[in-house]
Amino acid sequence: MLFNSIDFAFFLPIVFCLFWMINGKDLKYQNLLLLASSYVFYGWWDWRFLSLLAFSSGLDFFVGSALYKQQDEKKRKMLFLISMGVNLGLLGFFKYYNFFAESFVEAFSFFGQKTDLNTLNIILPVGISFYTFQSMSYAIDIYRGKLTPTKDLIAFLAFVSFFPQLVAGPIERASHLLPQFLTKKRFSYDMVAAGLKIMLWGFFMKVVVADRLALYVQAVYGNVDMHTGLSFIVATIFFAFQIYCDFGGYSLIALGCARLFGFDLMENFRRPYFSGSFREFWGRWHISLSTWFKDYLYIPLGGNRVSPSRNYFNLFTTFVVSGLWHGANWTFVIWGGIHGSYQILEREFAKI
């Protein structure tokens, strides 16, 4: 179910009214409603993958509880590896199996060798990259001793599947969003007005700006033989604004939608094209993803507390993996490598 669809136009008011009708009663009923609504929202695309979402969420809930209770470090590490292995294994299979299989075959062919590794007809579950990272961070934070696990299964499942940010972010941390499911909400007309205002601006960016620019961009890049260099320049500029208004607009709709229910989501885009450097740009663009990779990949690799060469390796690796997260294609890997190189060069030029 897309935000800019007729289905969502009927879905949201119904959930909104039901949510505030049961306000003030047992908090579990509100969370149960949000959980059921989120699963309906997700199942609207393909109900078959609801079991995958529930399994991934449930796994981290029970692993998180076991991690917190377990004192033996070897057993804690084993539990942690189970969570990471299963989550990354599912993400890797559904999103990257065919990519690596095709790359493997092409590599062997390049050296004159043949292999029978076949691709599979795999359907990519919507939002798996987002909810996997959100659920994983819960187990990671508990393993690090930075988070106390919740005992409320319904609240946790609702946290992972919360429909405003389920399929396109922002990727929330349990330390920020989960406590909001454990707190009673108060209805406020100002809160609802603020949420609708944010949603309206998001819809303007997505539907009026991004979708209109996309028509020109697709017309040019889809018929390269029919256009001149000037058309490509204009299309490239348009694409830069299209992708920002598409992602940024969708994130604003998510923020505004969550606000209608009394939830506060993190800001995901902060005027990135006004950045004065590549480093600043990545502090403003897809903030929830950038900070996720910083906290759970870049810093564990050593961050900037190591030698300059090792720091650059950590930086480059983080951006390459970030590129792969965006899509199972070598173009995304190269894109990530380019941005990692920009970061390294920027740091080197700053020394001059």
Which of helix, strand or coil describes residue 54?
Answer: helix
Spatial contact of 268 and 169, defined as CB atoms under 8 Å apart: yes
Total count of residues recorded for the chain: 352
> Of 172, 149, 10, which Cα lies nearest the Cα of 67?
149
User: What is the Cα–Cα distance from 248 to 200, expressed in whole angstroms?
Assistant: 13
CB burial readout 130-163, b (16+ within 10 A) else e: bbbbbbbbbbbbbbeeebebbebebbbbbbbbbb
Tokens of 120: 């599979």
Please tell me the distance from the alpha carbon of residue 170 to that of residue 298, in angstroms, as a whole number. 19
- Cα(279)–Cα(240) distance, rounded to whole angstroms? 18
The C-alpha torsion from 320 through 321 and 327 to 333, rounded to 10°, is: 20
326 is catalytic: yes
Cβ–Cβ < 8 Å for 178, 61: no
Q: CA triplet 192, 196, 198: central angle to 5 degrees?
A: 115
Cis peptide before 170 (omega within 30 of 0): yes
Residue 288, amino acid: S
Q: Using CA atoms, how far apart are residues 202 and 9, in angstroms rounded to an integer?
A: 15
What lies within 8 Å, CB to CB, of 341 at 6+ separation is 316
C-alpha to C-alpha distances, 285 to 146, 170, 230, 237, nearest whole angstrom: 26, 11, 28, 17
The active-site residue out of 176, 286, 326, 339 is: 326
| Alpha carbon distance 283, 298 (integer Å) | 14
Active-site positions read 326
